[in-house]
Structure 1
Amino acid sequence: MKKVKLNKKQQKAIELILSGVNVFLTGDAGTGKTTVVQQSVKALEKDEKNVLIAATTGVAADNIGMGAVTVHKAFGLGIEFEKYKDAPGFRSSYLQEADVVIIDEIGMCRFDLFSAIVKNIIAENNKRLEPGYSCNGKKKNAVQLIVVGDFFQLPPVIKKEDREILVEMYGTEYEPGEICERGYAFFSRAWKEMEFHCVKLEEVCRQKDAEFLGILNDIKYGRNLQNVIAYLESNQSSDLMEEAPYLVGTNAKADKINQAHMRALDEKTEKKFWAIIEGDVTYEDIKNISFAKQSLVVNVGAKVMLTANDANGEYVNGTMGTIIDISKERGDATCIQVLTDKGKKVDVYRYEREIERQDIEESKEKGENGETVTVKKIVRKIVGSFKQFPIKIAWAMSIHKSQGQTFGQVNIDPRCWDSGQFYVAVSRAESVAGIHFMAPIMKQYIRTLSDEVIKILRESLYSII
């Protein structure tokens, strides 16, 4: 087995992780954060530590490997975000066995989810302090938490329909301004409670071109943008690369490109599948489902992304591949067989999602002093179900979906609208020569964090080793 060569900062990070303290591992895109995680896990397991590896997205979990799962699965949280605040700490079966928890892509972990994770860890640690406690006949120390990521990459996703509830639930407890717009984990009280030791990796491993690396850092921090634009436009590939993936700012743009590629396939093998919908389900309900559309058109030879986590662990949300067969198995159930980009054949069946509706409901109750007070509660109910293949056509993908991946060649639409979006897109490439920009680059497309957030990062987070 080839020995992994580590630079000094990577070695220092591993030493800190092995010391037992809580660690925030950060660094620019391509600095080898995943390598540090993988080598740390090997060292921890050599010391007979149980390591729970999780990530905020299925793509990130797949990229780490080593049996990583999503944070929702690791902590038994589900996806009902509004339950996070008031739920008691839950000791998941994973967590009860863990000595160390590692969470990747922490930048995309929303503050409410992070708070729930920490609540669970604290509940587990309190249990371990109880007299007579043992796990499999052994005493366990407090859970060590390692979080990994870069807050200058893509921010947490806050859907429009979530914002009112998040402000209602958390707005008075967290820092003003950016918190309810971005929801970064480091704004939460839970982050401060963990007392992270921070390590920043600086030597980039993915790209070897020193000039390109300098440009990436300028993009990240919003510096020298005229020089950045001139460099990228003069050094990019002048022609569209037909076989390379397309990274675009929105799902709508990705759909348009994907439809053009679909039309080039043999129409005789094309299949259309309608979702199976039951109960009181409206268009608004379907519109908000992210894993599939009501009408799905697929074909043999189509490039696809799987958009759910398989119950048997065969694939995760974000797995890329190509459809190689569409047939009927399990009686009359249709199976779509996909050859993943890693060379594994997986069978994909319809995935069921329960449809729930939520709202804020007010009621009047008697307070401790007998006065009448207004109590606000989140109410939810299941109104139906939606079944569809968790598949999206993926010659083109949104920049958000590309985070954590690397491409030798890539076509990029530079018309970005979110902080860190342009940086993530460009840093997916191994070199500037492997990029073709699908439109002229404008200054306004290169967005970074607000001055307020950068100030907080510098003052509180980046007391870095």
Structure 2
Amino acid sequence: MKKDDLNKKQRYALDTMLSGSNVFLTGDAGTGKTTVIQTFIDEAEKAGKNILVSATTGIAADNIGYGATTVHRALNISIKFEDYKKKVKSRAELLKEADVLIIDEISMCRFDLFNMIAKTIITENEERAVDRLLIGEDKEDIQLIVIGDFYQLPPVITTDDRKILCRMYGSDYGKGGKYEHGYAFMSEYWKEMGFEYIKLDEVCRQNDEGFKYVLNDIKYGNNIRKSIAYLENNESDKVIPEAPFLVGTNAEADRINNTFLGKLDKKTEKVFHAAVDGELTSADIKNIAFAREDLILNIGAKVMITVNDLSGNYVNGTIGIIQKIVENGEFEESYLVIKTDKGKTVSLYRYNKDIEKQVIEESEQEKDGRKIVKEKIVRKKVGSFSQFPVKLAWAISIHKSQGQTFEKINIDPCCWDPGQFYVAVSRAKSANGIHFIRPIKQSYIKAFSKDNERLLEQSFEVEEGA
């Protein structure tokens, strides 16, 4: 997207980022946070900046594009919990050359991981300061941009991890403790980053004004009884057959998908093996939205298409039913005939996804009559993965739905995490595009707590833009 296509607040966010400030970009679901970031990357790269793009989850990294990877891989940080508290001894090679580090879905980043990220950046910046003083190096400090909404899903903390957190950091990190959810802004380093706080406030996903107000109340924990009444009075009164189910866990989504798949005629079942080219690791493949090396499909299967069609016949997130499976012998010529939830019949071929990594490229330049080696972060193709870009879609976990939009959805409202119910409901464009499979209880709607709001506000001076 071009800068001129952004709304006023989005342009303010973009300009602040381009000025070099550290930024925390937030906003309600559907306000265009990803759009702003993608526009910033395009503009900053045109200006010759080295951008290191990452996210807290593989799905979020895949959604951004630009060779993005998980923050663990980008910074060479171990995913072993015990390593988070160790002193930083070395820094990722990519970070040494970065002008900007971007981290998407910061709400899913635990405070101890943010500690490690911040210490890594601080250590690198200290070395750059010394180089500027002693050898006249012109590399500025790393700019940090984090994106996300703390009112959506919190970091995942397993029972075992929580025990270790309590042992290492104290009982405040236990169930019911002051820092129970371990958000990144609870890190001792968050305030030190000096973020400019920018909140996008124009929702582009929903046009129904009444639904927008209800979503806002649910997000902030206001008028819950009134919000439940609105949703139940305006929802679809029956299960929506063509729509997916949003459920609380991956295990429940897998159970539902496998149950429905098992009811289809085995005679039409086909197994499609992916074509993998290059030296790809399991982690490279895992980050792909349609990462199935052996994909089992059947006529009658409900699937979600996970790529966009340039001609506009479907988009990432389109739901449909497989009507026909055509095998032409040639790998590339096999295709699926899918009837979408909008009644359109489309042909879907295998999708060849180039796998890119962010790597360092050296080039020689002249400065003051002498040759110097300049290093730049570039995106380099390391392989490709070819498969039908679909995944079973009778059911999807609420966590995996974050960032997506659906015309119609069936929701199991039984939620337990702060922001989980809000994320589920805000995937829809309107209340009448939702069916709840059980009555909504007030206990299912857990908002970001007032105590956490105060902690977040205390973590920086809140300076909203124009």
* TM band (smaller chain): 0.7 to 0.9
Structure 2 residue identity aligned to 1:423: Y
Aligned residues: 386
Give 1:320-339 correspondences, 5 Å limit: none
* Residue 396 (structure 1) aligns with: 395
Q: Could you tell me how far apart the structure 1 residues matched to 2:152 and 2:256 are?
A: 25
Contact 1:61–1:68 (CA under 8 A) maintained in structure 2: yes
Q: Could you tell me how far apart the structure 1 residues matched to 2:75 and 2:48 are?
A: 22
Could you report, residue by residue, the CA deviation over 1:287-326 in whole angstroms, capped at 9, with x for unpaired residues?
xxxxxxxxx99444556799xxxxxxxxxxx9x9999799
Q: Could you tell me how far apart the structure 2 residues matched to 1:141 and 1:271 are?
A: 55
**2:350 aligned with 1:345, yes or no?**
yes
Structure 2 residue identity aligned to 1:69: T
- Aligned residue for 2:399, secondary structure, equals helix
- Aligned residue for 2:403, secondary structure, equals coil
Q: Could you tell me how far apart the structure 2 residues matched to 1:92 and 1:134 are?
A: 23
Could you report, residue by residue, the CA deviation over 1:89-145 in whole angstroms, capped at 9, with x for unpaired residues?
53212212210111111000011111111121122212222337999x973111000
Q: Could you tell me how far apart the structure 2 residues matched to 1:423 and 1:213 are?
A: 12
Structure 2 residue identity aligned to 1:64: I
Q: Could you tell me how far apart the structure 1 residues matched to 2:400 and 2:391 are?
A: 11
Could you report, residue by residue, the CA deviation over 1:326-364 in whole angstroms, capped at 9, with x for unpaired residues?
9xxxxxxxxxx999999673699xxxxxxxxxxxxxxxx
Could you report, residue by residue, the CA deviation over 1:130-187 in whole angstroms, capped at 9, with x for unpaired residues?
337999x973111000001110100000001111112222238989964652110001
- Aligned residue for 2:180, secondary structure, equals helix
* Residue 50 (structure 1) aligns with: 50
Name the CA shift for 1:89/1:464 in 2 (closer, same or farther; >3 Å). farther
Q: Could you tell me how far apart the structure 2 residues matched to 1:338 and 1:169 are?
A: 52
Contact 1:38–1:64 (CA under 8 A) maintained in structure 2: yes
Q: Residue 269 of structure 1: CA displacement?
A: 5.6
Contact 2:166–2:172 (CA under 8 A) maintained in structure 1: no
Could you report, residue by residue, the CA deviation over 1:214-238 in whole angstroms, capped at 9, with x for unpaired residues?
1100000111112211211121222
Contact 2:106–2:148 (CA under 8 A) maintained in structure 1: yes
Contact 2:172–2:180 (CA under 8 A) maintained in structure 1: no
Q: Residue 67 of structure 1: CA displacement?
A: 2.2
- Aligned residue for 1:115, secondary structure, equals helix
* Residue 5 (structure 1) aligns with: 5
* Residue 114 (structure 1) aligns with: 114
Structure 1 residue identity aligned to 2:44: L
Structure 2 residue identity aligned to 1:455: R
Name the CA shift for 1:423/1:127 in 2 (closer, same or farther; >3 Å). same
Q: Structure 2: which 5+ runs fail to align?
A: 272-293, 306-316, 328-334, 341-346, 354-389
Q: Structure 1: which 5+ runs fail to align?
A: 273-295, 307-317, 327-336, 349-390
- Aligned residue for 2:63, secondary structure, equals helix
Tell me whether 1-10 or 30-39 shows the greater mean CA deviation.
1-10
* Residue 208 (structure 1) aligns with: 207
Contact 1:89–1:119 (CA under 8 A) maintained in structure 2: no
* Residue 357 (structure 2) aligns with: none
Tell me whether 114-123 or 156-165 shows the greater mean CA deviation.
114-123
Name the CA shift for 1:111/1:89 in 2 (closer, same or farther; >3 Å). farther
Tell me whether 59-68 or 12-21 shows the greater mean CA deviation.
59-68
Q: Could you tell me how far apart the structure 1 residues matched to 2:445 and 2:248 are?
A: 12
Structure 2 residue identity aligned to 1:411: N
Contact 1:339–1:345 (CA under 8 A) maintained in structure 2: no
Q: Residue 80 of structure 1: CA displacement?
A: 1.1
Q: Residue 253 of structure 1: CA displacement?
A: 3.3
Q: Residue 62 of structure 1: CA displacement?
A: 1.8
- TM-score, normalising length: structure 2: 0.72
**2:59 aligned with 1:59, yes or no?**
yes
Name the CA shift for 1:173/1:2 in 2 (closer, same or farther; >3 Å). closer
Contact 1:300–1:325 (CA under 8 A) maintained in structure 2: no
* Residue 440 (structure 2) aligns with: 441
Give 1:251-290 correspondences, 5 Å limit: 251-268=250-267
